[in-house]
Each structure stands twice: as structure tokens, then as C-alpha cells.
Amino acid sequence: MVCDRRTWLDPDTPVSDDPRRVPIPPDGDEGRALLLRGGRVFDGVDGEVREGAILTWGREIADVNFSGDPPPGTEVVDVQGATVLPGLIDLHTHLTYHEPHVPVERAQCIADATLRALERMRFFLESGITSVRDAGSHRAVPFRLKEWVAQDRVPGPRVFPAGQLITGTGGHGAEGLSPLAPAHGKIREASGPHDWREAVREQFKMGADVIKVASHFSKEEIDAAVDEAHTLGLRVMCDAETFYIDRAVRAGVDVIEHPLPRTDEAIELMASRDISAVPTLIPYLIIFRRLGGYFHSTSRRFSFSAEDNLEVVRRMRRAGVRMGIGTDLVMDWFRMLPDAYITELEQFACAGFSRGEALLAATRHSAEILDMDHRLGTIEAGKLADLIVVTGEPDRNLRDLAQIDTVIRDGRIVIRDGSLEEPRHQAVHMDDLQ
């Protein structure tokens, strides 16, 4: 159970729009208004589609059934023949991941890592993904990107960074890790319970919105990491497999990543303890098709296949485990967006989800896993105005999600007619200088 510091806050205290819930000064209302009318609305609340007109004011949704005359200056967008949905969420990204055949000095270069992330963020945004959870990137890059996006200084989805992946010495991602490895700087090896606590505190200090851990680890190490993260008020996402999942679940992690082998007991415990899952089926499909298997990793010493992975998802679904959407598109795989994201949803459908349930996994359930369901994931008054307009009916045909017409983040249109919209900069005039 998270030691929730929010219970000590006055509910009227403005806080940051992230899981850290840091008190902030009141935000002035800009008076910016949008009205989307004439379309179908998949609000993400129950998986149903309704007719409705959505009014946004400033950064928030003001009314989901607006009627009458809009406020003066409102931009009216006709969405007839389209479907409005909450912004999609990707719970497993690596914004700065190096691309194939890049020299190690370029892979480790912070400037290059930042530019790689900026390119990826545009792909996500154009695909209707308005929030991403970064599961491990180069040093301070994802934290600075989070700030710049929030300040509308660069285009992109909301970024919720984990900081460095924490693993035992030589654990997942750290096999052969050295200062000459492309992943150097993205991974924090830790040894012993005290060091695992220190590694968690380091990510918290950097500004982490979630803590990412990976096997291998001892029982004492994972217990210490989860206790420290929860004491600081952060959730824990865990990349683990086989008996390490049992250890992580018993320690109280909040979400298990990937579709890797696990016991029936672990799945039952996940369901009973409200521990979520982000299966990330798509990267394994790519690995199996391109490479024939997952090779040369001591953290993948088991047999698995596309069908095995689907069966893990089926078992979790039958047990009632909440699941969200993550793509884990490493290297240059982000160039497969939006197809890769849609394929992930289709894999959920293959595992027994209806199309509506798959869309709920991409919106409301992913927001719940992100610890942001009070602000994201559904179209409801008072929530942040993160919306997408799709030409078609994705609740009936998931492939229609490839037809993103408009993307709204924080009440601003950032994608219009399928293309990035960047307003002209606001110049400071010499006459304004004091």
C-alpha cells in the first residue's frame, strides 16, 4: 500500500499534474475555449459511445454535454463523422533509446539522446498518444523534456519519467554493462537492501514519477526498494519473470511489465492485491519476427513465444488483473507508430478483450496504472483536456486509430488535420523592456 502523502493535503490545494502531487501556486485561467461538436464520443468511462458536444476551458474539460451558445472567442471544431476519445497513453517507452549501428559515443551523447527523444515524441503525438511513461532513459533528459512539454516549449506528449532502471549487479539490461556500453547512464546497478533504497532515493531526487526495478534481486532487495518508493509516495513498475515475479508481487510492487512467464499463484496474488500489468506484447512480436528469438540475455533464460505471451494475458484477464497499454519500442521501432500501438490493441483483442475493452485499457485503465486517473483517461468535466479526434469508429474497427485528425493536449490543438501545429513565437518588444 502506498503511503499516500496526499491525505495530508487540503483538497483545494493546487498540485502538479503528476504522481508527485507537489503543491504549486494557483494557475491563472487563460480563458481559452474549444468546442468539439457533431461527433461520436467514446468517453472512456464505461466503454460506450454517445453523442455529445465537448467544451474545454483553459487546460480542462468544462462540459461533456454542452448545449447553447459557446463563450465569446471559443474556437468551434466540427467533428461530424468522427469519434472523440481521451488521449491515448503509452505506459512503456524509452525516449532516448539508441538506434542500431550508431557509434557508442553518439549513443551516449546527451545532445543526441535529447534529439532522439524529441523525434520520438512527435511520432507519439501524431499517433494520438498524449501521455507516455518513460521506463528508463539517459540521465536528466526525460525530466527536462517533461518540463519543456508542460511549458509548451516543445511539442510532445506528457512525460512521466522513471529515471534509471534499477537492477541487481549484472541484472536485466546490465549484462556486460560498462562505461563503453550504449545503455550506460540509463541503468543503476544496486547491491544489497541499503543500496537499493539509495537507488530509489536518487531517482526521486531527479524528479521520478514512478520507480522502475528489474530482476534480478533478492527478496530483501525488492522489499527495501518497494518500501522506500511507497514511503516517498511513488509507485513501482517491475520488469521481472518466473519466480522473481512472485518475489515482486509479495513485496507489493504496483505493476508488472511484459508478458513473461509467471505462476498461477503470482497471477492470483496480482488480482487480489490490485497489482496491474502492462503486457507489452508488440516488442516480442517484433523480436520473434525479425530475430527468431530473444537471444544472448541471462535475464531471458526461459522458453517463450508469441502464443505463450498471449496465454499469459488470457490467464491474467480471467483472473481479473487490470491491464494497460505499453509498446516498449526500443531502437528505431518507434517508426512503426501508429501501427505498433494499434497492433498492441489488436493483441488484446486476440486475448479475449472486446474492442471497447481494449480502448479502455489504452485510456482509463492506463491512467489508473499511471496514478493519474483523477486528471486523465476519461472525458469528464474537471479533467485535463487531452482529447483526440479520429476519422472513423475505432470502437468498431481498431485500425481506424490510424486516422488521427486532431490531437488536443492541455486544451490546445497540437495536431490539426493530421499534422503538427506550432503557433508563431510570441516576440518580446523592445518597448516592453523596463
Sequential DSSP letters for 71-116: PTTPEEEE-TTEEEEEPEEEEEE-TTPPPTT--HHHHH-HHHHHHH
Using DSSP bridges, classify how beta strands 387-391 and 211-214 pair: parallel, antiparallel or unpaired.
unpaired
Whether residue 225 sits in one domain with residue 162 = yes
**Is 392 in contact with 67 (CB distance < 8 Å)?**
no
- The amino acid at residue 350 is C
Residue 430 domain-assigned (yes or no): no
- The answer to whether the Cα torsion of 101, 105, 110, 115 is positive or negative is negative
Residue 160 lies in a domain: yes
344 and 199 housed in the same domain: yes
Residue 345 shares a structural domain with residue 196: yes
Exposure b/e, 38-76, CB count within 10 A at least 16 = b: bbbbbbbbebebeebbbbbbbbbbbbbebeeebeeebee
The counts of H helices and E strands in the chain are: 12, 18
Assess whether the previous peptide bond of 283 is cis (omega < 30° from 0). no
Q: What is the DSSP letter of 8?
A: G
Contact present, 234 and 208 (Cβ < 8 Å): yes
CATH number of domain containing 196: 3.20.20.140
Instruction: Identify whether residues 172 and 226 lie together within a single domain.
Output: yes
Predicted pLDDT of residue 422: 84
Residues 389 and 329 in one domain: no
Please state whether beta strands 412-416 and 404-409 pair in parallel, antiparallel, or not at all (unpaired): antiparallel
User: Rounded distance, CA 180 to CA 174, Å?
Assistant: 12
pLDDT at site 180? 63
Residue 22: inside a domain: no
Residue keyed to cell 510570441: 426
- Phi, psi dihedral angles at 60 (to 5 degrees): -120, 165
Residue 10, in any domain of the structure: no
Contact 395, 97 (CB under 8 A): no
pTM: 0.95
Query: Is the domain of 35 the same as that of 176?
Result: no
Residues in the chain: 434
Residue-range definition of the domain harbouring residue 54: 30-86+378-420
Of the candidates 368, 347, 369, which has an alpha carbon nearest to the alpha carbon of residue 358?
Answer: 347
Cα atoms found within 13 Å of the Cα of residue 380, Cβ hemisphere only: 12
Residue whose grid cell is 481506424:
400
- Mean pLDDT, each 10-residue run in order, the chain (434 residues): 70 91 80 92 93 94 93 94 97 95 89 96 98 94 97 96 96 81 85 98 97 97 98 96 97 97 97 98 95 84 91 98 98 97 98 97 98 97 97 97 97 94 84 74
How many separate domains does the chain show?
A: 2
Alpha carbons 32 and 72: distance in angstroms, whole number: 10
Rounded distance between C-alpha atoms, residue 407 and residue 126, angstroms: 8
In a domain, 24, yes or no: no
* pLDDT confidence of residue 31: 74
- Alpha-carbon distance values, 233 to 9, 211, 306 (Å): 13, 10, 36
Distance from the Cα of residue 182 to its chain's centroid: 23
| CATH code of residue 45 | 2.30.40.10
Residue 179 backbone dihedrals phi, psi, to 5 degrees: -60, -10
Instruction: Look at residue 303 in the predicted model and tell me its pLDDT.
Output: 84
35 vs 360: CA distance, rounded Å: 24
Cell of 229: 518508493
**Predicted pLDDT of residue 110:** 92
Query: Pairing between strand 211-214 and 165-168?
Result: parallel
187 plus 284 within the same structural domain: yes
